[in-house]
């Protein structure tokens, strides 16, 4: 019983700390102090330490010999690698899903639902509204990838999105343009053209990659 409770607390701590990192409440370079976090979460330090190890495996935390567990501060090179992997995964998943007939009306309806929410919150200006816009932006992409029905790809994609999301909360995103690009992808799916779907997706990801890299470089140059 104690083991089960311990695992549950560790997982709860992992989910909470992951949410804080992905949302930007815990920033890159910030130390994770188990005793302080345990007091904040109302649990013992042991499950917090276990959660930090899992966050390290997720690529969200690094173990520094001098500073202990630290929220990962992504470099320009990190972002380049993450986008390269993400673009290949999404393109491959969409091609598999199309060939298997999984980009159907039900999936299209699900994408439109995420798109409507994304469009609604992209018009906002508060941190909460923009966080929700990012959530539905992400939902659109995870829905696409999950259509391939390959859990290993979906799992890898989720981890990559977690990492890139920590970068997104620190930069200015072109939310309105992302909405329109998502609409182009949804329209291509409705048209039933594999080439059009892949082209719309790739153009969207490439534009996002260039915008993200440009802003990360500016942040690094400014010493942010």
- Tell me the residue ranges of DSSP E strands in the chain: 61-64, 68-71
pLDDT tens-place string over residues 4-51: 455 589 999 999 999 899 888 898 889 999 999 999 999 999 999 999
Q: What is the average per-residue pLDDT within 53-70?
A: 91
pLDDT at 224: 52
CA gap 30, 61 in Å, rounded: 10
Q: What is the pLDDT of residues 141-194, one digit of tens each?
A: 999 999 999 999 999 999 999 998 888 877 766 788 999 999 999 999 999 999
Residues with Cβ within 8 Å of 31's Cβ and at least 6 positions away in sequence, in order, are: 67, 68, 69, 70, 71
CA 23 vs CA 4, 13, 27, 117: distances in Å: 29, 15, 9, 18
Which residues have CB under 8 Å from 6's CB, separation 6+?
Answer: 46, 47
Task: Provide the CATH topology of domain 76-222.
Answer: 1.20.120
Instruction: Specify the pTM.
Output: 0.85
Task: Report the candidate in 56, 83, 220, 53 with the shortest Cα–Cα distance to residue 164.
Answer: 83
Domain ranges of the chain: 2-71, 76-222
Name the CATH code of domain 2-71 (choices 1.10.10.10, 1.10.3720.10, 3.50.50.60, 1.10.1740.10).
1.10.10.10
Residue 126, CA distances (Å) to 121, 165, 180, 198 in order: 9, 17, 21, 33
């Amino acid at each position: 019983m104690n083991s089960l409770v311990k695992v549950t607390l560790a997982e709860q701590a992992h989910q909470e700390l992951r949410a804080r990192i992905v949302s930007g409440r815990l920033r890159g370079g910030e130390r994770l102090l188990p005793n302080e976090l345990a007091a904040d979460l109302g649990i013992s330090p042991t499950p917090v330490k276990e959660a930090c190890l899992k966050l390290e495996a997720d690529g969200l935390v690094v173990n520094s010999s001098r500073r202990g567990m630290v929220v990962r501060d992504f470099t320009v090179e990190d972002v380049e690698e993450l986008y390269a992997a993400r673009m290949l995964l999404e393109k491959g998943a969409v091609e598999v899903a199309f060939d298997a007939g999984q980009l159907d009306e039900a999936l299209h309806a699900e994408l439109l639902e995420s798109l409507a929410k994304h469009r609604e919150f992209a018009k906002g200006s508060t941190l909460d509204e923009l966080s929700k816009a990012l959530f539905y932006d992400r939902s659109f992409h995870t829905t696409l990838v999950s259509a391939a029905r390959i859990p290993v790809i979906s799992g890898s994609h989720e981890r990559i999105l977690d990492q890139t999301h920590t970068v997104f909360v620190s930069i200015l995103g072109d939310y309105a343009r992302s909405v329109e690009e998502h609409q182009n992808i949804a329209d291509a799916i409705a048209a039933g053209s594999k080439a059009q779907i892949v082209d719309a997706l790739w153009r969207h990801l490439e534009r996002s990659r260039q915008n993200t890299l440009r802003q990360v470089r500016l942040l690094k140059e400014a010493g942010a």
